[in-house]
Amino acid sequence: MIAQWDDAEQTMIRVERAGRIYFVPDDPDNIDRQALDGVEIAPYAPPPPPVPVEISDRQFFQALAIVGLISQADALAAVMTGALPPAFEAFVAALPAGEQFGARMALSGATIFRRDHPLTAAFGAASGKSPAEIDELFRLAASLT
């Protein structure tokens, strides 16, 4: 069983037991709350901010450099000249021949990168990143001002 405060005010407890989730008010007269006596309740953790739909090319390449997927020099070259970093060149080269030109044009000419674009998911997967990790990359990028 996992118990965690569901709000910062600690009025509701989120309980996960046997694959089911339910919510228990922090009311000493509530029988479900009484059943939680002695159970450690984890602190409230606010939900992450929403995943941005799009980020700028500068934010995208800067975030990739921060997490180590490309070098800082490659990030600068991508933003300044549209040169694809080696990781992107390898990704494009692995695509079917008929898709390579379009992918190269899209990646080198983009001024925004969309989270829902098929190349975003494909490059993430090719880089060994899960969808949740790609979401975190977009959140990081959006925070770069």
- With CA atoms as reference, report the closest residue to 84 among 101, 67, 66: 101
H/E element, 13: strand 12-17
Tell me the whole-structure pTM to 2 decimals: 0.77
pLDDT at res. 105:
96
pLDDT at res. 9:
96
Q: Structural domain boundaries of the chain?
A: 2-34, 54-143
Q: What is the pLDDT of residues 73-123, one digit of tens each?
A: 999 999 999 999 999 999 999 999 999 999 999 999 999 999 999 999 999
CA distance 43 to 74: 41
Q: What is the pLDDT of residues 12-57, one digit of tens each?
A: 999 999 999 999 999 999 999 999 999 999 999 999 999 999 999 9
Strands 20-25 and 12-17: antiparallel
| Nearest-5° Cα angle at 96, 128 to 53 | 50
Residue with token string 């009311």: 27
Quickly list H helices, the chain: 31-34, 57-66, 72-81, 86-93, 97-109, 118-126, 131-143
Note whether 138 and 55 are within 8 A (CB). yes
DSSP letters spanning 51-78: PPSEEEHHHHHHHHHHTTSS-HHHHHHH
